[in-house]
């Protein structure tokens, strides 16, 4: 019975993700924010909500290693998925087809993961209240990175292009 519920939940997630991507595309076009910003902030945030809830449940159950594994494993899986999508995309290499400004997103993700790994290796860090300084650094770097990406998107017209280069832009 648990496997059936898992499969049904997976189907619901896939259907919801399809709609989320469609609506994110519409938001990117209508607001002229571009695929980079909408994909990085809105779509990534919405698709990360199940991970957030799973991690909160893990913390509540007293299993922080499960929460950390969830976050790090998700990042690792997403990078591997990029490679698999590229494997089956016959038109052009995926990472050569998207806007160059996605390198900012990749650099930010790499920086945030580096700080997280260094924090794990360094051991306990000073805290402010209940929050570690390393966590505050990650949060600050995230918002600075988002600000830089938003600024870059506004100044670089090429980053306003949509990821779906094979489909013509549809008027909404």
For the cut 50, the answer to whether the pLDDT of residue 158 exceeds it is no
pLDDT reported for residue 105: 82
Residue 36 near residue 162 (C-beta atoms within 8 A): no
Q: How remote is the C-alpha of 24 from its chain's centroid?
A: 13
**Model confidence pLDDT, tens digit, residues 54-77:** 889 998 999 988 988 888 888 888
Residue reference for tokens 């930010």: 108
Q: Which two tokens stand for residue 30?
A: 């209508």
**Whole-angstrom distance, CA of residue 55 vs CA of residue 61:** 10
**One-character DSSP codes across 56-97:** HHHHHTT-HHHHHHHHHHHHHHHHHHHHHHHHH--SS-HHHH
pLDDT reported for residue 138: 93
pLDDT reported for residue 136: 94
Q: What's this model's pTM, rounded to 2 decimal places?
A: 0.67
pLDDT band at 141 (very low <50, low <70, confident <90, very high): very high
Length of the chain: 172
**Model confidence pLDDT, tens digit, residues 71-127:** 888 888 888 988 888 888 777 777 776 666 678 888 898 999 999 999 989 988 888
Q: Which two tokens stand for residue 81?
A: 């998925």
């Amino acid at each position: 019975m648990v496997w059936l519920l898992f499969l049904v939940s997976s189907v619901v997630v896939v259907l919801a993700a399809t709609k989320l991507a469609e609506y994110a595309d519409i938001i990117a076009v209508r607001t002229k924010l571009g695929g980079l910003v909408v994909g990085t902030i809105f779509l990534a945030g919405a698709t990360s909500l199940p991970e957030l809830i799973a991690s909160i449940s893990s913390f509540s159950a007293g299993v922080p290693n499960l929460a950390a594994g969830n976050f790090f494993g998700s990042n690792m899986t997403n990078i591997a998925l990029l490679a698999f999508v590229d494997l089956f995309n016959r038109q052009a290499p995926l990472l050569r087809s998207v806007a160059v400004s996605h390198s900012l997103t990749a650099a930010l993700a790499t920086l945030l993961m580096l700080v997280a790994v260094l924090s794990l290796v360094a051991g306990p860090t000073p805290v402010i209240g209940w929050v570690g300084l390393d966590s505050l650094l990650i949060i600050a770097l995230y918002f600075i990175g988002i600000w830089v990406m938003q600024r870059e998107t506004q100044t670089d017209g090429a980053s306003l292009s949509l990821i779906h280069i094979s489909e013509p832009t549809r008027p909404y």
